[in-house]
Structure 1
Amino acid sequence: MTLRNKAPLLAASALVSAFGFQGLAHADAFYLEAQSARGAGRAFSGEAADTGATSLWWNPAAIAGIRDGSAAISATAILPKGDVVDNGTLIRRPGQAFAAVGGNSTSRDPINNGVLPSGAVAYPLTDRIAVGVAVTSPFSFTTNYEANSWARYSADKTRLRTVDIQPSIGVAVTDWLRVGGALNVEYTDASLSNALPNVLASLPDGEQELKGDGWDLGWTAGVQLHNDFATVGISYKSSIRHHLKGSLDVTGLVGPLAASNESLDGAKASFTTPGQVIVAGRVRATNALTLNAQVVAYSWSKFDTIDLGAPLNVSIPENYRDSWSLAGGFDYDITPKATIRAGIQRTKTPTQDGLRDARVPDANRWTYAAGGSYQLTSHMTLDAAASYVDFSDTTIDRVTAAYAGTAAQTPIITNGLLENAHAVVLSLGGRLTF
């Protein structure tokens, strides 16, 4: 493969890596969980077992048997902090010995603050059948490393936005059994860039930028089992095969690499996001206190390769592993109109040591949450929540090579650390019945 053909391959590889950076926000790898202000207050510990439009994203059975129309809207501010630190990363340009990669050795807070909106509405067709739609953004973030960061060859600027539209139906089969199904129509728009090394360290870096978007489909199905004091919810959200098409620009390469500078339309990449098995329970311990628990199993091993279309026709290994989250919490009615809640969640990262790069510095984390609701009128309730997410320190250690397989192959032995990473997450929402 010529150097000219290899540059699009490297850019397409970077595209997929960009999707992983959401791990430092409020969820598992690049899945964003913050779709409800009510759920955020208890660390998302009972969503698949709760009822109404607010829980529609987690389980379409949540709207089965509702008596009134309902709507919910929320906005979540995500305020991440953390340091991505060089610990001795080396680069070897053609014909030269390994040398320090250079640049700023500490990138502070490379993930931008952001606000995530979400909403849902549901309406009963009969006393047992209801329809609804949820609009969410399960993968959205912006990162911005300095141009001279030590991580510049794997990450520079990244922007990802998704919109998931989930039309749903729920049916109360009996007084104790509710079922639901939904279609997930998902739009993805992404742009990202990273630096490219020239053959001499004295030369300024080149740059590549890749943009793409696409529409894809998935589905969700769920059940709920009810009695007088407890509810169990079980749902499955399918994996989604994403197909992006866009453009690639490579600039700033000189000397023997100059032939790789180009503008290319029609660049393609496809990859699979994980399915989720969600099991939740809610138990009314007293007239005022409800206990919640939820476990989610993610099939992240489906994100094993990035497949690149013609003319490259190659696959890039990603090697994620399956992961899980476990949450517990409570709701307590302090008055007929006011409720307080709190919860804690443990999440395991699907990224693996030896395969983690600066675009995907995900880590195991604990989430501590508290919130409350207040019923303003018989038809309107406000929800608010605050969460603190504490990430474990971890390594950034994925070995890469620019221009791999060519005479200009440039290995980069990444040796970095994620340190002091945490996030404050603030949610505000409202629920309306009609």
Structure 2
Amino acid sequence: MRKRLLPLVLTLLAACSTADGEENQEVLNKDWGEIEAGAADTEVRLYMWGGDEAINSYIDEWAAPRLEDLHGIKLTRVPMDTPDVLQRLQTERQAGQRDGSVDVMWINGENFRNAKERDLLYGSFSDILPNMEQYVDENSLDHQVDFGTDVDGYEAPWGKVQFVFVYDSEKVDTPPESFEELAEWIEDNPGKFTYPEATDFTGNAFLRHLLYSQFDEPEELLQMRSDDDEVEEKAAGVWQYLNRIEVNLWREGQTYPASITELDRLFWRGEVWMTMGYNEARVVNKVEEGSFPDSVRTFVLDSGSIGNTHFLSIPFNAPNPKGAMVVINELLSPEAQLEKLSPEGWGENTVLDVSLLLDEERSAFEAVDRGESVLDAETLGEAFLPELDAQFVPWLEEKWFENVVSGE
């Protein structure tokens, strides 16, 4: 009996998996009118990080009422711990459970890779969404790749933040435009620049920018891994650059801030005249709380600025896939993205290609005042670089200690 049990279980699981695939394909093949009609007067459960009240308010007080008014959809926000949810989905996949509890997930990066590789996602749905087709540049690298994993339509971009350098305009007249100009500025202003050590997320991002700058085209590096010979060869330029500027860094490069918090503190005290960060709008709150002066401004270099695009996806066993698609489509509407851009609320940059909007809509986006310290959307969009594969982070950390801290 035991000998027959395993084949029987595998057969049942295979049947369930096939049924999932057929049902998914059936929905994905429907036209948008059918999907929208099937989503009317249903509930959609959105599982997402719940640690920011401004983000929670955007969902609960703006998005949910709008979806109720437009589609009769009851949008329920559910705070989640992503690894726990993915583990639950994995268990449900193995058990052949076709009716889950999650309709939409806020997911990206390593979690997306794990979900995609384990077949925990619904399928390639994003090109079905009218707002994705009409307003999003699907050819943009930041929408095609998520921390080194091809998106392939399994998730839809929702928002993004971007790495910028921060300076005090009362001390720095004209910020550098390239890494070469930055090196020259550091030499002309010894002790007024540094960066967090490579164990810090922001410090590591600074190194990833330098690595990007060694390649003529961003796509080249995106297709590589850290153990590729060409990466090792190009990275030599990173270590040469860092060793070149080290003697003119804060405290002559004998020590580095352990975190971005420490670097910000040095900036606030005037010990350095620049800081940096992985969010183009974070300086707004810093100014409001008095941590940064009103004269603070931001800039990016001509070699590009790494950004983090975050995405919405649908689990393989979502109980309401039609509703999920309608919700995601609505969150990609110009109205929803404009509200999310407002500095009074979430304040996050849009994933829409503003040039594709109607004149009136584009004017509304351009009229949003994020303050003098925040770069305009066009400048940020032109500079945007996708995040590298996550395995570059520990590799750069190790190589930085080896080539910069420990040796010359």
Q: What's the TM-score, normalizing by structure 1?
A: 0.19
Which protein has the bigger strand share?
A: 1
Q: What's the TM-score, normalizing by structure 2?
A: 0.19
Which protein has the bigger helix share?
A: 2
